């Protein structure tokens, strides 16, 4: 259980440290060019899912937070089951990555509204403001900041529908928790046959089981 616990705590530490710094040192929309125009810290917030996807309204946000909380509990139970079962190490790591990412964004939703003042386009938020936080439990906003506009161009005018429009890859702005979820899910997809491969009983193990 030490390896998955280390992965989870490490990702949460990195994710929350960067979010806390961005929240208290940057105003909404502010950009810091870390690696020219290829890697930018761009502070934005969203009410919902990974990469800025969201459900409309306060009720949608509350519903999403509850669903995320239930999913985290289910993932935690499944992870403990895999560890006790001594499942494939890669599978345990993938579930740990997904669990850590989901928990990281859940922390934002659950507590940031209580702990920070409202971020705006003029100055950074305040941690533990005297007037109280900007929202209630489970209604906080998720902090995003990682932006990699590596490739940018305008489509030629002769291209139907999208002609002359700007194209940017990679356009979504995300956070470390989103990355953790994405890496875990993609690894599950690519290596699922290896992770879920059933162990074939050898003659030696069969004879040992029958003799015992």
Question: Which residues have a catalytic role annotated?
Answer: 144, 178
Picking from 113, 81, 86, the residue whose alpha carbon sits closest to that of residue 99 is 81
| CA distance linking residue 102 with residue 65, whole number of Å | 11
Residue 135 CB contacts under 8 Å (≥ 6 apart), including other chains: 112, 113, 114, 141
Picking from 134, 135, 136, 116, the residue whose alpha carbon sits closest to that of residue 125 is 116
Distances (CA, A) of 85 to 62, 81, 196: 35, 6, 13
Residue 118 CB contacts under 8 Å (≥ 6 apart), including other chains: 125, 134
Check: CB of residue 43 under 8 Å from CB of residue 136. Answer: no
Let me know the angle formed at the C-alpha of 126 by 49 and 66, rounded to the nearest 5 degrees: 30
């Amino acid at each position: 259980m030490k390896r998955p616990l280390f992965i989870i705590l490490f990702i949460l530490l990195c994710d929350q440290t960067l979010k806390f710094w961005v929240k208290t040192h940057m105003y909404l929309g502010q950009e810091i060019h870390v690696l020219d125009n290829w890697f930018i810290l761009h502070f934005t917030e969203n009410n919902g899912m990974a990469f800025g996807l969201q459900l409309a309204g306060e009720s949608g946000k509350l519903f999403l937070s509850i669903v995320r909380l239930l999913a985290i509990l289910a993932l935690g139970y499944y992870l403990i089951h895999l560890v006790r079962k001594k499942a494939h190490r890669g599978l345990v790591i993938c579930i740990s990555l997904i669990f850590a990412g989901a928990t990281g964004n859940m922390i934002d939703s659950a507590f940031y509204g209580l702990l920070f003042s409202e971020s705006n386009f003029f100055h950074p938020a305040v941690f533990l403001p005297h007037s109280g936080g900007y929202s209630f439990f489970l209604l906080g906003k998720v902090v995003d900041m990682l932006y990699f506009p590596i490739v940018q161009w305008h489509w030629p005018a002769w291209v139907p529908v999208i002609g002359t429009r700007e194209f940017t890859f990679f356009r979504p702005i995300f956070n470390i928790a989103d990355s953790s979820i994405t890496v875990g899910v993609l690894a599950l997809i690519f290596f699922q046959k290896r992770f879920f491969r059933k162990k074939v009983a050898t003659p030696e193990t069969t004879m040992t089981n029958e003799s015992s």
